[in-house]
Chain A
């Protein structure tokens, strides 16, 4: 039986990118459908009636929503190759914990404040943003990937924010390379993987879009 896999996505979304990376890691063929978020179509509204958001994975007609839920789903269905989560329950718990940390700390929401606020509010956002990344840097330590020797769930959860770093750095007036060198080294290591390189858009393209999307100068 051939699988029918469709991904409803929006190219600059760091959440959508996570699913692209996971599908690429597993070598799954799928149909990518770019969504117009200002003009949501029937399929999106039908497949994600609760949140009306991307990404949505449609596998043989059934929808899966929420990027990290989708990544786990992909790992469980296509469980015969390139595992994204470790097999040991404690290691799996650690992976889920750190992916949840990335979500909880709403890295995107804090990052958004970097370009949509000024003065004291922006300074506070910058401080919070860097604290989050420094915590992640400590967790990474000297490991090549968050999962250890192999690229996995936490790496997927976090790497997609890399495409937005230029936006954050430019508006926040700081350099990630200077503040969190280990994170940049880790990101560059991840980008050497084809699954990541072909799933993440160029930082400058994202910057141009952010200017447009958020009406920034």
Chain B
């Protein structure tokens, strides 16, 4: 039943960006209507709700659209103030969480996905960048169960793709980034994250992801170099 307060999420089943939003909503116990978007055949609804980027996820709440997954996460935390609080309370800790979320996106995610889709020298270059970025993440998680401390928070959600999407990309791209011997703390965090009752029930099927990312990888590796901004 549509009400003033109803929540709708436009997402894509294989997108780690849209899954972040689902994790946050489910952790907070917020009911929402999920609308699957075919990102290869964008609906007029998506183009209307996110005219600037034309991408998922888009959250619609009180008839207003919010785009960009990190922006949506903060909106969710500020609108539904019940536990769990996603961002830390202390301003310096909040700044650190935002800093590392950006780092994860700009350095680790881009390099990892890029390494999956590239060949030869470019693949080697991106793999090296990804491993260097992972070293920094490892330092951050050492001695902690979650990035948020004792419980899942914003940064765990932001970096959650490492636990599930990255192993898929490693298989598809025949690469290894998250070596358990080199990165024991991150490997352990990934296991804890995936075991969380909310997370483990909200993951796209692996057997669908493998062929999907194979296709995407084929597409990107056929592009002339320079498409990746790292």
B-binding residues in A (CB < 8 A)? 50, 59, 62, 64-66, 69-70, 72-73, 76-77, 89-90, 92-94, 96-97, 100-101, 106, 109, 135
B138 within 8 A of partner (CB): no
The 21 listed contacts between A and B (C-beta, < 8 Å) are A50-B103, A64-B92, A65-B99, A66-B102, A69-B98, A69-B99, A69-B102, A72-B98, A73-B95, A89-B79, A90-B61, A90-B66, A92-B78, A93-B72, A94-B66, A96-B70, A97-B66, A97-B67, A97-B68, A100-B71, A109-B229
| Contact present for A101 and B98 (CB under 8 Å) | no
In the complex, are the beta carbons of A90 and B74 less than 8 A apart?
A: no
Interface of B is mostly: helix
Query: B52 touching A73 by the CB < 8 A rule?
Result: no
Interface centre among B62, B64, B75, B136 (most CB of A within 10 A): B75
- Chain A binding surface SS class: helix
> Nearest chain A CB to B119's CB is how many angstroms away?
24
A93-B71, A93-B75, A97-B68 given; A77·B99 CB < 8 A? no
Residues of B within 8 A of A (CB): 52, 61-62, 64, 66-68, 70-72, 74-75, 78-79, 91-92, 94-95, 98-99, 102-103, 136, 229
Q: B62 and A90: CB pair below 8 A?
A: yes
Interchain CA distance A72-B66 in the complex, whole Å: 19
Q: Which residues of A contact B68 (CB under 8 A)?
A: 96-97, 100
Q: Is the CB of A89 within 8 A of B75?
A: yes
* Contact status A76-B99, CB under 8 Å: no
Q: Determine the distance from Cα of A96 to Cα of B101 in the docked complex, in whole angstroms.
A: 14
Q: A93-B71, A135-B52 are in contact. Are A70 and B229 (CB under 8 A)?
A: no
How many angstroms between the C-alpha atoms of A66 and B204 in the bound complex?
33
B71:A89 contact, CB within 8 angstroms: no
Q: Is the CB of A76 within 8 A of B94?
A: yes
Contact B74 A93 (CB under 8 A): yes
Q: Is the CB of B95 within 8 A of A69?
A: yes
Q: Which 5 A-B pairs have the closest CB atoms?
A: A89-B78, A93-B75, A76-B91, A73-B95, A96-B71
Measured CA separation A69–B98 after assembly (Å): 7
Residues of A near B61 (CB, < 8 A) are 90
Q: What residues on B are CB-neighbors of A106 within 8 Å?
A: 229
B77 to A: closest C-beta gap in Å: 9
Q: How far is the CB of A19 from chain B (nearest CB, A)?
A: 12
Chain A nearest CB: distance from B9 CB in Å?
14
What is the CB-to-nearest-CB distance from A90 to chain B, in angstroms, rounded to a whole number? 5
- The distance from the CB of B228 to the nearest CB of chain A, in whole angstroms, is 13
Residue contact A66 to B67, C-beta cutoff 8 Å: no
Which residues of B have CB within 8 Å of A101?
52
Distance between Cα atoms of A76 and B95 in the complex (Å): 10
Please determine whether A73 and B94 come into contact, CB atoms closer than 8 angstroms: yes
List the A residue with the shortest CB-CB distance to B67: A97
A77 touches B136 (CB 8 A): no
> Smallest CB–CB gap between A87 and chain B, Å?
10
Chain B residues within 8 Å of A59, by CB:
92
B74 touches A92 (CB 8 A): yes
Smallest CB–CB gap between A24 and chain B, Å?
19
**Cα distance A97–B75 in the bound complex, in angstroms:** 11
Look across to chain B and name the residue whose beta carbon is closest to the beta carbon of A89. Answer: B78
From A139, which residue of chain B is reached at the shortest CB distance?
A: B52
Q: Are A92 and B75 in contact (CB under 8 A)?
A: yes
Chain B residue at minimal CB-CB distance from A66:
B99
Q: Which residue on chain A has the smallest CB distance to residue B91?
A: A76
Q: How far is the CA of A73 from the CA of B66 in the complex (A)?
A: 22
- A32–B214 Cα gap in the complex (Å)? 51
Question: In the complex, are the beta carbons of B71 and A62 less than 8 A apart?
Answer: no
In the complex, the answer to whether A73 meets B78 with C-beta atoms within 8 Å is: no
Complex: chain B residue closest to A96, CB-CB: B71
Q: Shortest beta-carbon distance, B154 to chain A, in Å?
A: 13
**Which among B62, B79, B99 has the highest number of chain A CB atoms within 10 Å?**
B99
Chain B residues positioned under 8 Å from A70 (CB to CB): 95
Q: CA–CA, A12 to B75, complex, Å?
A: 33
In the assembled complex, the CB of A128 is this many whole angstroms from the nearest CB of chain B, namely 13
Q: Inside 8 A of A92's CB, which chain B residues have their CB?
A: 74-75, 78
A72 to B94, CA, bound (A): 9
